Amino acid sequence: MHVAGLRPRSAYQLSRNLTRHFQWTKPLDQITHHDVLSALDVIDARSQRAHALKDIRTFFNWCIPRYLKSSPCIGIKKPAQKPRDRVLADDELCKVWNRAREIGYPYGTIVQLLILTGQRLSEIAGLRWEWIGDGAVTFPSEITKNARISKIPIGAMARRVIEETPRHSSLLFPARGHATRPFNGFGASKESLDKCGVENFVHHDLRRTFATSMARLGVRLEVTEKLLNHVSGSMGGIVGVYQRHEFMDEMSEAISRYETWLSRILETTPDVPQ
């Protein structure tokens, strides 16, 4: 698809969404309405699903009349959904952690890092070794949702998980058979994770649980938002324009407090096998 005229960031995002979420190998004119729905159904995050629908609809509209007579996206509407507010209870978080550890690399390791860092699924799945160093990971603007560079400290637990991760390519989690593509087999992998017995949760709920846990531990909101690379009222306005403090010390202390708490509940939560 021709992307001339798009800003580099927009072109990158469009290309990433199309190649990440829609990996059909059949001829273009054989892709069906059901194929599009099935691809959209495995995208957990509501905002990602909406963006993916917008991009694939744009692509198929561009194909008409060049290669297609009609679009398989006809009739697919953006679902009206209530924003999720699901936060995992302590015992549920332990079950997810232990099941992820059983699953192991690559998907289980990704889930463990989601729990330990609170980052977005696409950011952890797309991790590169070159972004990790000096006790921190730096996500470039090209991969973050708000197009801002994000540098966060790595705690002791996360560091151990990363150290146990095998090196197959420049990516920590390359797709099978594609060393330059991030892992993308989330559909079947999530089904395996769901065997932990925790119901009605998606990957993004781990991020919300992380933020909620930080609040429980008394971490200041601006520190949590810095960890999440999230901009809201507390980081907007004058603060967003003029505040340039990086909060690295505060984030490091918050991560240490969080990992201590997580270790404790993993050790003491009953009926959760270690």
Tokens 């096998």 -> residue = 273
For residue 197, give both structure tokens. 């017995």
pLDDT digits (tens, 9 = 90+) for 183-242: 988 888 999 999 999 998 999 999 999 999 999 999 999 999 999 998 765 555 444 544
Q: What's the confidence (pLDDT) of residue 241?
A: 47
Assign 132 to helix, strand or coil.
Answer: strand
The pLDDT of 16-25, averaged and rounded, is 83
- 22 and 184 Cβ atoms separated by less than 8 Å: no
Reported confidence tier of residue 8, pLDDT bands at 50, 70, 90: low
Domain with CATH 1.10.443.10 in the chain: 90-268
Write the pLDDT tens digit of every residue in 115-151: 999 999 989 999 999 999 999 999 998 888 888 899 9
- Over residues 144-194, the pLDDT tens digits come to 888 889 999 999 999 999 999 999 899 999 998 888 889 988 888 999 999
**Residue 195 is inside which H or E element, if any?**
none
Closest by alpha carbon to 261, among 190, 197, 222, 212? 212
For residue range 85-106, list pLDDT tens digits in order. 899 999 999 999 999 999 999 9
* 90-268 is classed CATH 1.10.443.10: yes
List the Cα angle 44/48/52 in 5-degree steps. 115
